[in-house]
Amino acid sequence: MKAEAWIFGALTIFLVPVTPIYWLLSKDPTGTAALILTFFLTLMITGYLGLIAHRIDPRPEDKKDGEIAEGAGELGFFPPQSIWPLFCAMTMALIALGPVFGWWLTILGFAIGVVTCTGWIYQYYRGEHAH
C-alpha cells in the first residue's frame, strides 16, 4: 500500500501549485473548485492508504528485500463471462430515457433493475458456477 500512497501523495503535491496557477491564468471558478476538490480527494485517499499501509503486513512489493516468488500463488477470484452487465446497462438506459419520454419508463426501469441487479449479484449461486 505504500507505493499507492506515494502515487496519490505525489498527485496531491502536484495539485498544490497547479490550482492557484490555473486560477490566475483563467479566472474560472468552476475549474478552480474542481481542482480544489480533487486536491482534497487525493489527500483523503493518500491518508487512507497511508493508514492502511501501517496496519497490514507489508506486501512483497512494499518490502525493500521482497522477492518475486513471494507474490506467487492465487491472486483471487476472477469471474467468467456474464450477460448480466449488459442487462444492467440496458436497464440504466431505460432509467436515463425516462425523463425524456415519460416517467413511466423510469418506474419500469427501476422495476426491471431490481431483477437485473439481483441476477448479477446471485449469478454464482445457481447453474454451472454455483458455489
The string of pLDDT tens digits covering residues 13-48 is 999 999 999 999 999 999 999 999 999 999 999 999
- Residue 77 forms part of a structural domain: no
- Residue 76 forms part of a structural domain: no
**Its pTM surpasses 0.75:** no
Name the band, by pLDDT with cuts 50, 70 and 90, for residue 123.
confident
- Residue 58 forms part of a structural domain: yes
What is the spatial distance between Cα 13 and Cα 33, in angstroms, rounded to a whole number?
A: 17
pLDDT at 87: 96
Name the band, by pLDDT with cuts 50, 70 and 90, for residue 76.
confident
What is the spatial distance between Cα 8 and Cα 39, in angstroms, rounded to a whole number?
A: 10
**Are 17 and 59 part of one and the same domain?**
yes
Q: Which domain holds residue 94?
A: 84-124
What is the spatial distance between Cα 105 and Cα 129, in angstroms, rounded to a whole number?
A: 33
**Are 102 and 62 part of one and the same domain?**
no
| CB of 78 closer than 8 Å to CB of 19 | no
What is the spatial distance between Cα 53 and Cα 106, in angstroms, rounded to a whole number?
A: 43
**Are 60 and 95 part of one and the same domain?**
no
What is the spatial distance between Cα 121 and Cα 124, in angstroms, rounded to a whole number?
A: 8
